[in-house]
Amino acid sequence: MTEKSDHIPRHDTRTSILSSARAAFPLTLPIAFAWFFLGLSYGLLMESKGFPHWYTALMATVIFAGSLEFVTVDLLLSVFNPLLAFLMALMVNARFLFYGLAMLTKYRGTGPKKWYLIFGLTDETFAVNSSLEISERDAARGASRGWVYFFVTFFSHGYWVLSSLFGSLIGASLPFSTRGIDFVLTAMFVTIFLDEWLKTRRHSSAAIGVLVSLGCLLVFGPNAFLIPTMLGMLAIFSVLYWRRSASSASSANSSSSSKDLLS
Reported as a single tens digit per residue, the pLDDT across 86-133 is 888 887 787 788 788 888 888 988 889 999 999 999 888 988 888 888
CA 62 to mean position of chain CA atoms:
14
Q: Can you tell me the distance from the alpha carbon of 203 to that of 206, in angstroms, rounded to the nearest whole number?
A: 5
Query: pTM (2 decimals)?
Result: 0.68
69 and 170 part of one domain? yes
* Structural domain includes residue 110: yes
> DSSP string covering 41-61, please?
HHHHHHHHTT--HHHHHHHHH
* Structural domain includes residue 210: yes
47 and 153 part of one domain? yes
Q: Which amino acid is at 159?
A: Y
167 and 207 part of one domain? no
35 and 107 part of one domain? yes
Any idea what the Cα angle at residue 59 is, between residues 206 and 156, rounded to 5°? Answer: 75
165 and 63 part of one domain? yes
CA 137 to mean position of chain CA atoms:
31
How many independent structural domains does the chain possess? 2
230 and 156 part of one domain? no
Among 10-14, 30-34, 234-238, the range scoring the smallest mean pLDDT is 10-14
Q: Please provide residue 121's backbone torsions phi and psi, each rounded to the nearest 5 degrees.
A: -75, 110
112 and 167 part of one domain? yes
The stretch 174-203 carries a mean pLDDT of 67
pLDDT at 67 over 70: yes
Q: What is the mean pLDDT of the chain?
A: 80
Name the residue range of residue 159's domain: 3-181
Closest CA to 122 of 91, 152, 148: 152
* Structural domain includes residue 186: no
168 and 211 part of one domain? no
* Structural domain includes residue 171: yes
175 and 135 part of one domain? yes
Q: Which amino acid is at 217?
A: L
Q: Please provide residue 84's backbone torsions phi and psi, each rounded to the nearest 5 degrees.
A: -65, -45
* Structural domain includes residue 85: yes
